[in-house]
Amino acid sequence: MVMKYSLFNGWTQMRFLKTNELEESWKSLIYSPKQLGDVTLDLTVKKIFTFKNQGALDFGGSEYQPVVQEPLLPKIEDDPKYGWWTLSAGMYIIEYNENLSGNECLAIIYPNKRLLGTGCFHPVFIVDPSKNSQSIQGLLSVNSQSVRIKENARISTALTFRTD
């Protein structure tokens, strides 16, 4: 499928990447046979952070103060290779194992169906590696009953486009 855009960042066309192109465009996949779909890639959780301080946001930006992220350590249980995070209700920052490489790609990240099945969600967001080469992070909202998440769990899905 090709979409035509004339005013979107100067690109004239965008098309979905398929399985083999996805594997080439994304780095640090945990287990590609489980993560790759026909035109989607499941993203896995690497780290989870909580907030250490209160942020501040003003009109002009001179008083802007971002929150400090404090990592939560997963607890090792029966499986010595992978730990679990037990998250109470609230907001967290998640960091993914995977990274999108190449400036010619753009990805829309949305909650995995299984994450939604736990009563948790995160907002849909766009990853543009030409603007940000850091690790990919998102905001996770945990339901009122809490959730357990295992290291490397598939929690989000990426729909990746090549831009021309």
Banded pLDDT at 1 (limits 50, 70, 90) = very low
What is the pLDDT at residue 8?
A: 52
Taking the model in full, what pTM does it have? Answer: 0.88
Task: Give 127-138 pLDDT, tens digit per residue.
Answer: 998 776 679 999
What is the pLDDT at residue 160?
A: 95
Q: Residue 140: count other Cβ atoms within 10 Å of its Cβ.
A: 24
What is the pLDDT at residue 134?
A: 77
Sole residue written with tokens 């690497």: 46
What is the pLDDT at residue 12?
A: 60
9 sits in the region (left: phi over 0; alpha: psi -120 to 50; else beta) called: left
Q: Residue 115: count other Cβ atoms within 10 Å of its Cβ.
A: 22
Whether residue 110 has pLDDT greater than 70: yes
7 vs 23, residue with greater confidence: 23
Average pLDDT over residues 21-50: 96
What is the pLDDT at residue 90?
A: 97
d(CA 60, CA 162): 35
77 vs 155, residue with greater confidence: 155
Task: Give 84-103 pLDDT, tens digit per residue.
Answer: 999 999 999 999 999 998 77
Residue range 2-52+65-163, CATH number: 2.70.40.10
Whether residue 3 has pLDDT greater than 80: no
Cα separations (Å) of 142 from 40, 65, 139?
A: 24, 24, 10
> Which residues, 6 or more positions from 39, have their beta carbon under 8 angstroms from its beta carbon?
16, 17, 18, 19, 22, 159, 160
